[in-house]
């Protein structure tokens, strides 16, 4: 590498599970080389177009969408959009002249990586899930390096290109102070606390099951931190307030997740790759309810990577209405089992994942 500023394009997005790891990689690059020039490329209309600028980075949008799973007129336009997006990505690469390109999954990464690899620009993809995404599988043979978060990914990618790094997670997520957390949320240190989180958009099954369980939680003296998502929040707020209890807290979105994890004795969560990685890093006893509405049921596969090692409890989305809060109350009342789950899940944490990915990226550029 020369002494000129490092120039890197990071592409992909669509969900927080793609965006937050991408930002973590960018932050680590900037930490090591503050004069680095980093350009994000995403899909117009998707959440990366607002989340990335909020993190302090420039982003350019492509007019690209994924194939619809059902018959749709939009699918007829898909090939045309891909061609246009690859051409635009090529122009961006010619103008920006990156030293390397990183893809984090999501359909916006495909045109950029196709354009980059056709120009022999060093390229790396980061796969968050235990079941590889379609875009990453299609591009695996074109890129130089593939960073994965789970063992056994040889069934998707060439073993010679893979390195097991884990998922990039904000390290500060595990640094929350419990005393500060209890004060921040107005919680009683003598009571058990349950954290329920279904992702930034919320999860219908978790919300409905939680609403139905409010009388049981209040009767058991359990404190609840309930991230509902935007759509369900007004209803959840009314339901929680109806019980006139200081124990039940319905929140649209929790910005201080470090404090939420610090306060929680048990966590109920979906099993997105980012959530699973955060649970490993924070060492929290958890009940995972995988979303059934994701490609290839990859959340169940993410959850099983923990469950198979005795590091989490699994309740299916189908069984959650009847079984979730029976299991949650049993686990809250069993500190020995909580400690066992916590110890096992900590063994799976990879706190240096972001650093390891950037190491691989810089090696590609140097070589």
Query: Binding site membership for UDP-N-acetyl-alpha-D-glucosamine: which residues?
Result: 15-17, 129, 170, 200, 254, 273-278, 299
Point out the annotated binding site.
Answer: 15-17, 129, 170, 200, 254, 273-278, 299
Residues 266, 269, 271, 272, Cα dihedral to 10°: -120
Instruction: Tell me the torsion sign for CA atoms 154, 116, 129, 169.
Output: positive
**Three-class SS of 306-351:** HHCCCCCEECCCCCHHHHHHHHHHHHHCCHHHHHHHHHHHHCCCCC
Q: Distance (Å, rounded) from C-alpha 156 to C-alpha 6? A: 31
10 Å CB burial of residue 321 (0-12, 13-18, 19+) is: middle
Q: 248: closest CA among 256, 257, 239?
A: 239
Residues 119, 120, 124, 130, Cα dihedral to 10°: 80
């Amino acid at each position: 590498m020369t002494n000129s500023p490092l120039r890197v394009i990071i592409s992909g997005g669509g969900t927080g599970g793609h965006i937050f790891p991408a930002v973590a990689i960018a932050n680590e690059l900037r930490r090591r080389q503050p004069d680095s020039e980093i350009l994000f490329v995403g899909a117009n209309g998707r959440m990366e177009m607002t989340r990335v600028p909020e993190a302090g980075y420039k982003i350019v949008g492509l007019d690209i969408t994924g194939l619809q799973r059902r018959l749709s007129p939009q699918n007829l336009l898909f090939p045309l959009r891909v061609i246009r997006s690859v051409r635009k990505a090529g122009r961006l690469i010619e103008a920006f002249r990156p030293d390397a390109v990183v893809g984090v999954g999501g359909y916006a990464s495909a045109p950029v990586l196709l354009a980059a690899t056709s120009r022999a620009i060093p390229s790396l993809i980061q796969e968050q899930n235990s079941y590889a995404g379609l875009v990453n599988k299609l591009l695996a043979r074109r890129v130089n390096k593939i960073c994965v978060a789970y063992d056994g990914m040889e069934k998707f990618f060439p073993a010679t290109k893979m390195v097991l790094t884990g998922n990039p997670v904000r390290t500060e997520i595990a640094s929350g102070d419990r005393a500060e957390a209890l004060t921040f949320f107005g919680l009683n240190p003598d009571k058990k606390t349950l954290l329920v989180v279904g992702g930034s958009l919320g999860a219908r099954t978790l919300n409905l099951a939680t609403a139905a369980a409010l009388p049981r939680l209040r009767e058991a003296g359990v404190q609840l931190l309930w991230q509902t998502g935007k759509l369900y929040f007004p209803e959840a707020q009314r339901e929680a307030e109806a019980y006139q209890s200081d124990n039940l807290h319905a929140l649209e979105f929790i910005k201080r997740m470090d404090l939420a994890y610090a306060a929680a004795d048990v966590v109920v969560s979906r099993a997105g790759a980012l959530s699973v990685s955060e649970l490993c890093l924070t060492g929290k006893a958890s009940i995972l309810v995988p979303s059934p509405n994701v490609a290839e049921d990859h959340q169940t596969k993410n959850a099983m990577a923990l469950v198979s090692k005795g590091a989490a409890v699994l309740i299916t989305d189908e069984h959650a209405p009847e079984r979730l809060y029976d299991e949650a109350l049993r686990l809250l009342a069993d500190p020995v089992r909580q400690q066992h789950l916590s110890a096992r899940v900590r063994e799976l944490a990879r706190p240096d994942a972001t650093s390891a990915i950037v190491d691989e990226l810089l090696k590609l550029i140097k070589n």
